[in-house]
């Protein structure tokens, strides 16, 4: 497999990740077949917690990650009655299994990377708090607001936007998994949105449809 400057020789059962937005080329030495699984970029980014994604890297068939992932993928293709929720859960499980092999990291040796990961964890722990904002976050994690902005900017992120999108993603997950007809204003409030109108507008901006329509699609 070749993509840009990356070239990797694959054997039976090996796995590699390619960037579907860029050209790639597969050359076979004999009759072969491949199984392609399309992973939503947003899901990969969230699971990898914004670490750099490793493309064009061989995941050996004999490795535990490849063995478990391949078994899960093949078993999933044989299931004819998976619901949308079950399909999404399976996809999330596959990405989580592959995370150690497709995440380009230096085991957090960099002090800035450690600080960034601690901050992401802190955001998740307090994501339901209405007071969660860049200024409050900076005080709680022990850095200046300017330093917080710079740390996120290095990842191509804006702090307030990340917090908002993280809340919206969790709201969407709740809508997909919930069987009850909870009021949408109550749902938004439970994830830190104090204004129901703003919640609905922000949700539609991120997902293209209103929270109510999103719930109907996943009912």
Q: Domain check: are 68 and 132 in the same one?
A: no
Q: Domain check: are 39 and 126 in the same one?
A: no
Domain containing residue 193:
111-217
Q: Is 203 exposed, middle or buried (0-12, 13-18, 19+ CB in 10 A)?
A: buried
Q: Domain check: are 68 and 137 in the same one?
A: no
pTM for this structure? 0.60
For position 86, what pLDDT does the model report? 84
Q: Domain check: are 30 and 115 in the same one?
A: no
Q: Domain check: are 77 and 121 in the same one?
A: no
Who's near 117: CB < 8 A, 6+ residues apart? 49, 108
Q: Domain check: are 83 and 151 in the same one?
A: no
Q: What is the dihedral angle through the alpha carbons of 170, 124, 191, 159, rounded to the nearest 10 degrees? A: -90
Longest CA–CA span in the chain (Å) reads: 60
Q: Domain check: are 7 and 78 in the same one?
A: yes
Q: Give the model confidence (pLDDT) of 40-82 as tens digits.
A: 887 787 777 666 788 888 999 999 999 999 899 889 888 888 8
Q: Domain check: are 172 and 206 in the same one?
A: yes
Nearest to 193 by CA among 141, 137, 145, 133: 133
Distance, CA of 217 to CA of 219 (rounded, Å): 6
Distance, CA of 112 to CA of 110 (rounded, Å): 5
For position 134, what pLDDT does the model report? 95
Distance, CA of 181 to CA of 200 (rounded, Å): 16
Q: Domain check: are 87 and 122 in the same one?
A: no
For position 135, what pLDDT does the model report? 95
Distance, CA of 128 to CA of 113 (rounded, Å): 24
Q: Domain check: are 26 and 90 in the same one?
A: yes
| Of the residues 72, 104, 136, the one at which a domain ends | 104
Query: What CATH number corresponds to the domain at position 161?
Result: 1.10.10.60
For position 218, what pLDDT does the model report? 80
In the chain, the number of structural domains is: 2
For position 137, what pLDDT does the model report? 94
Q: Record the tokens describing residue 70, joined without a space.
A: 């391949």
For position 105, what pLDDT does the model report? 58
| Positions in the chain whose pLDDT score sits under 70 | 49-51, 104-109, 179
| Of the residues 104, 132, 165, the one at which a domain ends | 104
Q: Record the tokens describing residue 46, joined without a space.
A: 């969230």
For position 109, what pLDDT does the model report? 53
Nearest to 2 by CA among 21, 30, 31, 22: 22
Q: Domain check: are 98 and 159 in the same one?
A: no
Q: Domain check: are 84 and 135 in the same one?
A: no
φ, ψ dihedrals at 53, nearest 5°: -85, 135
């Amino acid at each position: 497999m070749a993509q840009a400057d990356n070239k990797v020789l694959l054997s039976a059962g090996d796995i590699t990740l390619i960037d579907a937005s860029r050209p790639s080329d597969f050359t076979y030495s004999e009759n072969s077949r491949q199984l392609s699984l399309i992973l939503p970029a947003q899901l990969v980014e969230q699971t990898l917690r914004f670490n750099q994604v490793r493309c064009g890297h061989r995941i050996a068939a004999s490795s535990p990650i490849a063995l478990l992932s391949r078994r899960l993928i093949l078993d999933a293709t044989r299931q004819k009655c998976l619901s949308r929720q079950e399909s999404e859960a399976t996809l999330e499980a596959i990405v989580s299994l592959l995370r150690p092999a497709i995440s380009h990291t230096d085991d957090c040796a960099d002090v800035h990377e450690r600080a960034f990961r601690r901050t992401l964890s802190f955001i998740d722990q307090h994501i339901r708090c209405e007071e969660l904002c860049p200024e409050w976050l900076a005080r709680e994690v022990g850095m200046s607001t300017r330093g917080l902005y710079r740390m996120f900017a290095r990842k191509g992120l804006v702090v307030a936007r990340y917090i908002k999108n993280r809340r919206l993603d969790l709201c969407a997950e709740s809508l997909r998994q919930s069987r009850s007809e909870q009021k949408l204003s109550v749902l938004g409030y439970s994830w830190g949105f104090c204004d129901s109108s703003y919640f609905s507008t922000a949700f539609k901006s991120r997902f293209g449809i209103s929270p109510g329509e999103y719930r109907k699609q996943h009912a």
